[in-house]
Amino acid sequence: MNADPVTLREVAEEAGVSVSTASRALTGKAEQYRISKKTERSIRDVAERLGFRPSHLARSLRNQRTGLVGVLVPDVSNSFFSAIAREVTRCAREQGYDVLLVDSQESTACEEQLLGHLQSRQIEGLVLCPVGESAEHLQAFEAKGIPVVMVDRCFSQLNLTTVTSDHQSGTEALMAELLQKGHRVIGCLQGRVGTLPNNERIVGYRQSLKAWNIPFDRSLIAGDQFDELSGYRAASHLLSTHVGMTAMFAFSNQILLGALRAINERKLSIPKDISLVTFDDPPFAEFLAAPITSAKQDVPLLGKTAAELLLRQLKGHESPKNQIYRIPVEILPRKSIATCSFH
């Protein structure tokens, strides 16, 4: 029943050889150390028969290689991050790495603590989706010399490889859809303030307005988190304070849900009463009462790119630091934008 794991020593004893010989036979170093074919065979047989599984622990300790990479995200249950985690996990496994997945629960304090944990588990590399508030603890982590690739909410001032979507042009393209249909008063349901994606989207928003000679109205921006509650509050707020507003722009799929809730509550209809577009393309977007026009991030590609960059670094390829990889965003026009005739 509670069979203690078989150790190399037991295999060696059973095969009548020393531990070192057994080790070399089983790790494919028979040739190099001139273990006879016969001995090797016999050792392999015994190992098989006893169900020997080398202890990753001992091996890691000795080799100073854990074969672990960390993936740290603000919320695993958010499909955006879980999709990233999935891709990274897949790529990492292909190269023989296992993944330690942790969740900072959108808390910088928690993030900091977890970084410590990952470090003491001796992860060899990290794919990090930071909470995005502050970067000092990341700076410290980076200094340890563990390869890190940041995804999504990155910090340009950090000397790290980062992968993120092309937020600004995505936003501008989406804004163009609205502006071309005559919308002039567009509410912005933003996410966590100060994060790079949010910053760049705000820049895109303002640029778009500028290009159309529309004055920027700061009070049209609301919200402070990428989650549903923030979206709900922001949308509710804008809907009550800005009667002239004809469209809203949600900065994430969670925010979108909140906005939908707020709109629903007021018995407004999309796009007749209010137009709505969103960054992130949720799988249900096209089945909504009004299929939502959206800017789709290529999330799997974000994950895959990050994983590949990390794995290259792990293989020793000195990848250029401080480089930021931009993944293009695709606009999916649907039916959530009304043609707006005033002005």
Partner DNA sequence: TAGGATTGCACAATCGTTTGTGCATAAGAC
Partner DNA sequence: GTCTTATGCACAAACGATTGTGCAATCCTA
Contacting positions for DNA (CB under 7 A): 4-9, 16-21, 23-24, 26-27, 29, 33-36, 38-39, 52-55, 57-59, 61-64
Of 161-169, 243-251, 283-291, 315-323, which part binds a second copy (CB under 8 A)? 283-291
Residue number with CB closer to a second copy (71 or 309):
71
Residue 2 binds a second copy, judged by CB under 8 A: yes
Angle made by CA atoms 307, 107, 76, in degrees to the nearest 5: 45
Closest CA to 149 of 337, 343, 331, 304: 304
**Binders of a second copy in range 252-281 (CB under 8 A):** 257, 260-261, 264
1, exposed or middle or buried, with CB in 10 Å at 0-12, 13-18, 19+? Answer: exposed
Closest CA to 132 of 152, 117, 160: 152
Closest CA to 257 of 223, 297, 206, 209: 223
Among 31, 94, 284, 324, binds a second copy (CB under 8 A): 284
**Binders of a second copy in range 103-122 (CB under 8 A):** 103, 105, 116-117, 119-122
Looking up tokens 């722009």, which residue turns up? 249
Closest CA to 182 of 13, 341, 9: 341
CB of 5 to DNA, least distance (A): 7
Among 75, 106, 152, 200, binds a second copy (CB under 8 A): 75
Residue 83 binds a second copy, judged by CB under 8 A: yes
**Residue 324 binds which of a second copy, DNA, none (CB < 5-8 A, kind-dependent):** none
Among 19, 42, 50, 76, binds a second copy (CB under 8 A): 76
User: CA 274 to CA 263: how far, in whole Å?
Assistant: 8
115 touches 141 (CB < 8 A): yes
Which x/- pattern over 5-24 shows residues binding a second copy (rule: CB under 8 A)?
x-------------------
**Residue 7 binds which of DNA, a second copy, none (CB < 5-8 A, kind-dependent):** DNA
Angle made by CA atoms 243, 246, 247, in degrees to the nearest 5: 125
SS3 state at 75: coil
Contacts of 70 (CB under 8 A, 6+ apart): 99, 100, 101, 102, 118, 121, 123, 125, 126, 127, 128
**Residue 97 binds which of DNA, a second copy, none (CB < 5-8 A, kind-dependent):** none
Of 1-9, 17-25, 128-136, 233-241, which part binds a second copy (CB under 8 A)? 1-9
**Binders of a second copy in range 174-203 (CB under 8 A):** none
